[in-house]
Amino acid sequence: MGILIIIGSVLVLYYIILIPFQYSNIAAIKESEKKSNATYNEMYEKMSFEEQQLQFNLQGNLLNLPATLIAQLIYFIRHRGEHNRI
């Protein structure tokens, strides 16, 4: 039982540390989308292989999913009014 508490504590700490990185990545992607008037898929295709791998590992890793979802929620709450503007 003690090992599960330790593993759970490490995972929670990992997510807490990862949330700011995920948030800044999401904010940078959204800002790039606004500046370039391109969709995420179009921007992804124009990225170098290294950038694609970084994005895939940061956003696509299932271990990072809770931190990604929380960061996405925080981003949408902070930028709530901007999404309705054209």
> Is the pLDDT reported for residue 84 higher than 90?
no
Q: Structure pTM? A: 0.78
* Assigned token pair, 5: 């508490």
Residue spans per domain, the chain: 2-84
Question: Which pair of structure tokens corresponds to residue 66?
Answer: 């809770």
Beta-carbon contacts of residue 52 (< 8 Å; ≥ 6 apart):
44
CB 36 within 8 A of CB 85: no
SS3 of the chain: helix, strand, coil, percent, to 5: 85, 0, 15
**35-79: pLDDT as tens digits:** 888 887 888 788 888 888 888 888 778 889 999 999 999 999 998
Q: Which two three-digit tokens encode residue 78? A: 């902070």
At 83, the pLDDT band (50, 70, 90 cuts) reads: low
